[in-house]
Amino acid sequence: MLKIAYGEASFDNLRNRGDLYIDKTSFIPLLENHTKFFFIRPRRFGKSLWISVLHAYYDTNKTNIFDKLFGGLYIQKNPTNYKNSYLVLRFDFSGLNTENEFSLKNDFTFRVRRQVISFFRYYKNYFSNSFLENIEKQFENLSTSQLISRVKEEANLIQKKVYVLIDEYDHYANKLASEGRESFVKNIVSKTGFVREFYEQMKIASGEGVFERFFITGVSPIMLDELASGFNILSDMTTDSRFNEMIGFTIEEVQWLLDMVSEERYTQKTKEEVLKDLIYYYNGYCFSNGAKTRLFNSDMVLYFMEKFSGIGYPSDLLDENVKTDYVKLRGLIVGASGKAKLQSIIEEVNLNDTLIVSLTKRFNFTQRFGDNELKSLLFYLGLLTFSNKSERFKIPNQIIQTLYWEYLRKFLEESLTIEFDMRLLSKALYEMAEVGKVDSLKELAVDFFQEKLSGYDFSGLTEKHVKFIFVSYFTLSKLYNIISERELPGKKRIDLLFEAHPAFYEYVLYNFVVEFKYIRKKDTEEEANQKRKDAINQAREYYEIYKRDFKQFGRELRSLALIVSHSREVELIEVCGFDVF
């Protein structure tokens, strides 16, 4: 079993325990070309671990353990002149109390105070005992800007340079925006705001040459415009193609991980087949229009690998902790734009597969985010990524696609007060999985379109629209991976594929190809009949192609035609594989 410390953000701990670490230290020399580095990535992408790597590399107190920490890594054999040459001042602004401005200021000040105290204690060999005694007596009465000023003054006296690392710089601003409290953010970063004062003092220390380097990271540039007003010395390298692969895993790195797994885990699927699954579920991120390499979300891959190397495929392909983070992101999007706007964009990206976006680099809180700002925010949060075409963005992978369907389901639940019938869903799926019957699936479809969506306006909907509304129902299931628009040879696509989740191969004995057609109000009787014929023919054709070209891993394959009309009538036609009945 691989020694994966899933969720561990301490580089020192990983290396001291001999846990797995994917070497990214080759980016350190390149990073040094920019002294004030601003770099954001989606949640759970390894930002905090990278901060820890930089801390370990530049910390002057870790000179004696450099080889222990970096042994066998690129940077040990190719060190830079700045190795172990800084006093490192590190901040993490996650989890601050945002109940009101007073509580946030107190918590922010406490966090800065605690880190500055730790800084002086950690580097006590550089400072006199009398200074340390005096400064600890004064700490409670110093503001954040005064605390930073003291660090600057004392580091200057001993002629040492400071490297400032700031993690989750935007965490509290994101939380406030998700709650619709944008004016609160304006207050704290205004000319008299305590956050503005903190960063202005950082800028002064930088201008005097004491705070020589900065690395600031978070999940969005939502506060960058306000931050830059008092701290306009940053180089925003977020979409610079040279740093596209600095955080996140490449295919080669994931292949290396799979090579480390015991061969006994490849009894159901080969290593190459598992890699294809990982590409489909977790790959696809690209953070620069000029980059050619697509990346895996590192945290998602490590979650999978920790489970897979120990017990096989995890029943949940997305860790619940990560899913919770993305639910919070939904709150941020809604808070910044409103539910209706998010709903509109979910529909647009599902209908068109891509979105046209002129990427917004800086946001402000003078008004609610417009269409382009919201779509840009989706990119920064990891819900969209660069496609192969300029200013066109797409959903990166199946996991994020499923999250969009879940957002849509939540919208249906909250806005239309739809209560999804788990009893009927479970019955339908277990009948499909265990005995290959679809009677309850039809019952579910009839109930959904005729009862659940009775107040939903179908008049202007397209076929694709109706389909992904239906698909949102199945995000409540784990037995099947529901795949929309599954590509087949010859540029053909299966409308819906119910593919057994590998963790449930013991229970799921049937896969299903489903061809979906929607008969609109304006369709003539002849057009409606043609759609029925097309659905049956495509269900038959795609059944043959999928059975011929894709492994079923012991499952039987069946195909259906599902036809829904504007009047909410539902037809479910058994096409192939049902001759046993």
Q: Are residues 306 and 330 in the same domain?
A: no
Q: Are residues 324 and 345 in the same domain?
A: yes
- The per-residue pLDDT for range 272-319, each reduced to its tens digit, is 999 999 999 999 999 998 899 999 999 999 999 999 999 999 998 888
More confident call, 87 vs 468: 87
Residue 407 maps to a domain: no
pLDDT in tens, 186-197: 777 766 678 888
Same domain, 28 and 145: yes
pLDDT (tens digit, 9 = 90+) per residue, 391-410? 899 999 999 999 888 888 88
Is 2 within a domain?
no
223-227, 412-416, 507-511: range with lowest mean pLDDT: 223-227
Within-domain flag for 403: no
pLDDT over 80 at 571, yes or no: yes
Coil vs helix vs strand at 487 = strand
476 within some domain: yes
The answer to whether 477 and 429 are in contact (CB under 8 A) is: yes
Above 70 in pLDDT, residue 323?
A: yes
What is the b/e burial string over 114-137, where b = at least 16 CB atoms within 10 angstroms of the residue's CB?
A: eebeebbeebeebbeeeebeebee
Flag whether 410 is in a domain.
no
Tell me the helices (H) and strands (E) count for the chain, helix number first.
23, 13
Mark whether 97 and 70 lie in a shared domain: yes
Tokens of residue 278, six digits: 């990982």
Question: Is residue 416 predicted with pLDDT exceeding 80?
Answer: no
Rounded-to-integer distance, Cα 376 and Cα 359, Å: 5
Same domain, 83 and 218: yes
Provide the domain limits for residue 356: 320-398
Residue 366: inside a domain: yes
Report pLDDT for 284. Answer: 96
Closest CA to 11 of 52, 46, 51, 47: 52
Q: Which residue has the higher pLDDT, 36 or 462?
A: 36
Per residue in 1-42, pLDDT tens?
578 888 889 999 999 999 999 999 999 999 999 999 999 999
Report the half-sphere exposure of 127 (CA within 13 A, side-chain side).
22
The predicted model scores a pTM of: 0.92
283 and 223 in a common domain: no
pLDDT at 282: 95
Sequence-distant (6+) residues with CB within 8 A of 146 are: none
146/557 Cα distance (integer angstroms): 69
Residue predicted with more confidence, 337 or 163: 163
CA-to-CA distance for 482 and 576, rounded, in angstroms?
A: 19
- Cα separation, 287 vs 19, whole angstroms: 28
Specify whether the CB–CB gap between 299 and 46 falls below 8 A.
yes
What average pLDDT does this structure show over 349-354?
84
Pair (20, 77) in one structural domain: yes
Residue that terminates a domain, selected from 243, 271, 290: 243
CA of 73: how far to CAs of 27, 47, 64, 66, 381, in Å?
12, 19, 16, 11, 30
Q: How many residues in the chain?
A: 581
Q: Is 551 helix (H, G, I), strand (E, B) or coil?
A: coil
Give yes or no for a contact between 334 and 26, defined as CB atoms under 8 angstroms apart.
Answer: no
The alpha carbon of 100 is separated from its chain's Cα centroid by a whole number of angstroms, namely: 28
Mean pLDDT, to the nearest integer, of 423-441?
Answer: 95
pLDDT digits (tens, 9 = 90+) for 469-519: 899 899 888 899 999 989 999 889 999 999 999 999 999 999 999 999 999
Contacts of 108 (CB under 8 A, 6+ apart): 93, 96, 144, 172, 194, 195, 198
Instruction: Name which of 560, 562, 558, 559 is nearest 571 in CA terms.
Output: 562
The per-residue pLDDT for 160 is 96
Residue 581 pLDDT class (50, 70, 90 cuts):
very low
Cβ(108)–Cβ(194) under 8 Å?
Answer: yes
| Residues 384 and 378 sit within 8 Å (Cβ to Cβ) | yes
* 238 and 265 housed in the same domain: no
Phi, psi values for residue 62, rounded to 5°: -110, 20
Please tell me whether residues 370 and 482 are part of one structural domain. no
Question: pLDDT by residue (tens digit) across 54-68?
Answer: 999 999 999 999 999
Mean pLDDT estimate for the chain: 90
CATH code of 77's domain: 3.40.50
**Per-residue model confidence (pLDDT) at position 227:** 65
On whether both 335 and 453 belong to a single domain, the answer is: no
* DSSP letter string, 95-133: T---SSHHHHHHHHHHHHHHHHHHHHHHTGGGS-HHHHH
216 and 93 in contact (C-beta within 8 Å)? no
* Domains of the chain: total: 4
Residue 413's pLDDT is what?
Answer: 84
Q: What is the dihedral of CA 399, 401, 404, 406, to 10 degrees?
A: -50
Per-residue pLDDT tens digits for 209-223: 999 999 999 998 877
> Do the domain assignments include residue 411?
no
- Give yes or no: residues 196 and 128 share one domain: yes
pLDDT of residue 397: 94
Condensed to tens digits (0 to 9), the pLDDT of residues 177-187 reads 777 776 777 77
> Average pLDDT in the 567-574 region?
94
Q: Cα separation of 346 and 455, whole Å?
A: 20
Which one is predicted more confidently, 469 or 232? 469
- Residue 226 has what pLDDT? 64
Question: pLDDT grade, residue 165 (50/70/90)?
Answer: very high
Statement to judge: residues 142 and 50 lie in one domain: yes
Supply the pLDDT for residue 288.
Answer: 94
CA dihedral 384, 387, 393, 396 (to 10 degrees): -20
Residue where a domain terminates, one of 398, 433, 468: 398
Point out the domain boundary residue: 286, 310, 334.
310
